[in-house]
Structure 1
Amino acid sequence: MRTSHPTTDRGDGRVVVVGGGLAGRVTAWRAAQRGFDVTLVEPSDARSASRVAAGMLTPATEAVFGEEPLMEFGVHSAGLYTDFVAELEAASGVPVGHRTTGTLMVAFDRDDLAVLADLHELQQRLGIPTERLTGRECRRLEPMLAPTARGGVLASADHSVDPRRLLRALAVAGARAGVHEVEDRAVEVTDDLRVRLEGGDALAADQVVLAAGCWSNAVTLPEPVVPTVRPVKGQLLRTRLPEGSEPLVHRTVRGLVKGSPVYLVPREDGEIVVGATQEERGQDESLTVGGLWQVLRDARELVPGVTELEVTETCVGLRPGSPDNEPLLGPTRVPGLHLAAGHFRHGVLLTPATGEAMAQALTEGTLPSPARRFSADREDT
Structure 2
Amino acid sequence: MHKFPKILWAFFLIGSVQAAPQLNPRVPDVYVVQEGDTLWNIAHRYLKAPWQWPEVVKANAELEDPQFLYAGDVIAVRHATLKIKRGRPVVKLSPRVRTVPLPRPIPTLPMDAIAPFLSRPLVVGKGELRRAAYVVANSDRRLLSGLGDKIYVRGLESLDRRLFSVFRPGKALRDPDSRAVLGYEAVHVADGQLVGQKEDGVATLHILRMRDVIHPGDRVLPAEKEEAITAFVPHAPPMPVEGRIISVADNTSRIGLYQVVVINLGRDDGIMIGDVLAIYQRDIKVRDPLHRKKVQLPRERSGLLMVFRTFDRVSYGLVLQAVRDIHPLDKVGNPEG
When normalised by structure 2's length, the TM-score is: 0.24
User: Relative CO higher for 1 or 2, CA cutoff 8 Å, sep ≥ 6?
Assistant: 1
Could you tell me the TM-score, scaled by structure 1's length?
A: 0.22
The structure with the greater share of residues assigned to strand is: 2
Larger radius of gyration: 2
